[in-house]
Amino acid sequence: MARYATLLLCTALTAPPAALAQTAPTTASDAAQDVTDDADVVVTARKREERLIDVPTAATVLTGSAIADRGGATNPVELLGGQPSVRILDTGSAMTNEVSLRGSPTTRGTSGDPSVGLFRDGAYIGGGGFSGRSFSRIDLFDIDRVEVLRGTQGALYGRNSVGGAVNIVSAKPEFENSGFANARYAIENEQFQLQGVTNVKLSDALAIRLGVDFVTQDGGFFRNDFLGTVLDRNDSTGIRGQIRWKQGGTDLVVRGETWRGFVPAIAFRAYIDPPRTGFPRGYIQPERTYPWSTDAFSRQEVTSWMGELNQELGFAKLRSVTQYRKRKADYALDLDGLNPVLLAQLRADGTVTSTTVDPGQAQEREEDAQFFTQDLNLTGELGDSALNWLAGLEYFHLRSNSEQRTLRTPTVPNPSPGNRQPLRTTFDSWAVYGSLDYALTSTLNVIGEVRQTWDEKSATSRRFDLATGLPSGGTGFVVDFANAPSNFSYNATLSWRPQPEMTLYGKVGSSYRAGGFNQDLGPATQPIPIPAAYDDERSTSIELGAKGRIARGTTFGIAAYQTYSTDIIVALNNGCFIGSTVCNSSPVTFSSNAGKARTWGAEAELASRIALGAGNLQLSANGSYQKGRVTDGPFDGQLLPQIPRWTFAANATLNAPLSGDVSMLVNVNYNGQRGGVHDLVAPGAPAPFDMDKIDLLNARAAVRLGGLEAGVFVSNLTDATYDVFRGAGARRLNPPRNWGVQLGYRW
């Protein structure tokens, strides 16, 4: 701990002395003077600046201060868990987690694109491989706000915004001297985190903002007891630098950042119910200790450069976002869940009678993806602000090189140690988009949004034997594919304001999710063949909603929707499982089109900020219902997977003065889910596994003195245990209770 304390002290000492005297922190008394709510937060949900309350769509904003009150967020589960209609498909590794909104399909463990638009400061960052369906840790560092837009956003946000879009807006340099240093130590997994940011005003027109994010971990909850390693490892470092020039009508921000390190590995335990051929008594491994012969890990590296220009032109406002992003990732995973020593013991005592179990099966994957995005748009007004207009152009380029290696134990009949399958993909996309928002009366608006997209995609892949280097597997593992689909997406909205701060709206819109390629085409013994490619998914959605402020400090939102999809992209598996007599290994998950589907649901949210003397109490709660079914094809009638029937959440934050400059903060947040199934299943196969119920409670308390804050936190307060994944031969558990201390200083 001495090195951690020294590191924190050094960071705090880098604060400019003048800054410490110039900016006073917000106290509980200050906060109570102006009890407002997030409805007045300025967002760019429609690619123009406007108040959240004025946007005629279902949307939520997480401010940086609200995230800090909960203790911060370093992965998508911590950031988005508990938001209306949000589901995080938790693979155990933040690198392969997947975000879903309003029951949008997920494709875990594949190279498929996400069904939710993932954006940083308006630039798309999703896709490109197995680690492209979620945000990286560096994306969650030093956040200004997070805009969660629910419902189809295809017209303005483009590809993959089927269930909605999430835009993380990073804190930009401000024209003041300020900063913070935060340290956190979690007791149970011996994890230390440190974040530090300094903001320096160089002149009235020039400012810089520098930040460091660091985490290291000595313990863990998930362990490989055969090799003596920790599976849920966290060790990474990220740095960010920004410079901002703002003068006259010009506002330019340039940002560079890099982050690399280890994140928790994909972990599971063998879970075989008796009786099963080859496992007459079944076989269930300990909850969080696994006997793997593979040294499993997950590692990622992200480097990006971004330039954002906002220019007043008089007749319009120009906004340009340019981004280059490079993402590298690799992981190793044990496919059989065993080791040779344990397998011999299990065979000796009769637990395993199968002769096809291979304890040397493993998978290694790596990717190197490069992105370039250019988004350019103009916004303006006509006719005394009766008509708001937007016109934009976008170009997106992705080049990805990846490789998968599947390992096995060589035998006399088959001396091969396995195979490797490299995959090279390119994706180029051009789009034009625009919107018109016309005020028919002072309270009634009609809004039209459109986008035309042209895509070009190609993929090349071969399978090679690891020993000989020669092609293997035959023509079924040769991929030479290219296509050039186009798409027209739209949104049409009618918005009515019966009161100045209340909006009722109805909308219909369309979107598409980009098709792609499967890298892992599975073993020759698999019962279900894996297609090399799959087509675009197309959706049309109808929504009715209401939102607004019902009292000072109290806001609400309700919405109901129905979505019709064709060629819906879902995750399937090849029918292999541990204990199978045909293909005895972990299943290979792949993306495929499953035909038509219908998804429907409703959601409600309420938030209130109440003055309590010199302090305040912030309360929020939400709940959602969603359901989806396949409506034709081989899966006709089945529930769409990974859609909890019910989700609900509540959050309470108390800010209160104690004495003089001393105040306290207490935060309690809860989220839960009920219902849903894990997978689609082949016709005639056993019913899919039900999703576990989730009840997750977290708490945090802190004392503040001036700019200093000291606190304690508890995650999973009740030590709830539930499966985040269930399959035919494997299950994955959530982390247990953890607690720790935090120390922060803000100037």
316: Cβ contacts below 8 Å, ≥ 6 apart:
378, 379, 380
Whether 145 contacts 43, CB under 8 Å: yes
Half-sphere exposure of 155 (CA within 13 A, CB side): 24
Q: What fold, for 2-746?
A: Maltoporin; Chain A (2.40.170)
Distances (CA, A) of 382 to 316, 386, 439, 526: 10, 6, 11, 62
**Count of beta carbons in the 10 Å neighbourhood of residue 552:** 12
Question: How would you classify residue 519: left for phi > 0, otherwise alpha for psi between -120 and 50, otherwise beta?
Answer: alpha
Q: How many residues does the chain have?
A: 747
The helix/strand count (H/E) of the chain reads as: 7, 44
pLDDT of 28 = 43
Tell me the pTM.
0.91
What are the extents of the domains in the chain? Answer: 2-746
d(CA 448, CA 456): 27
Reported as type and span, the H/E element at residue 361 is none
pLDDT of 27 = 43
| pLDDT, block means (10 residues), the chain with 747 residues | 41 36 38 55 89 92 92 90 88 82 78 86 88 91 96 92 94 98 98 98 98 97 96 97 98 98 93 90 95 95 98 97 97 94 95 89 95 98 91 97 94 93 94 97 97 95 94 84 92 96 96 83 82 89 96 94 93 80 80 92 96 94 96 92 94 95 97 93 87 97 96 98 90 96 97
- What is the per-residue burial (b if ≥16 Cβ within 10 Å, else e) of 134-151? bbbbbbbbbbebbbbbbb
**Residue 585 in tokens:** 């290994």
Distances (CA, A) of 11 to 179, 213, 214: 11, 11, 12
**Count of beta carbons in the 10 Å neighbourhood of residue 525:** 14
- Match 């035909």 to its residue by tokens: 595
Whether 94 contacts 137, CB under 8 Å: yes
Half-sphere exposure of 662 (CA within 13 A, CB side): 5
Give the residue from 157, 103, 158 showing the smallest Cα distance to 561.
103
pLDDT of 502 = 95
Instruction: Please give the distance of CA 316 from its chain centroid, rounded to a whole number.
Output: 34
pLDDT of 108 = 66
pLDDT of 110 = 67
Give the residue from 201, 176, 179, 322 showing the smallest Cα distance to 256.
322
Give the residue from 250, 247, 256 showing the smallest Cα distance to 208.
256
d(CA 626, CA 603): 8
d(CA 225, CA 334): 13
Based on the number of CB atoms within 10 Å of its own CB, is 474 exposed (0-12), middle (13-18) or buried (19 or more)? exposed
d(CA 33, CA 158): 42
d(CA 321, CA 727): 42
pLDDT of 15 = 39
- Match 């369906």 to its residue by tokens: 133
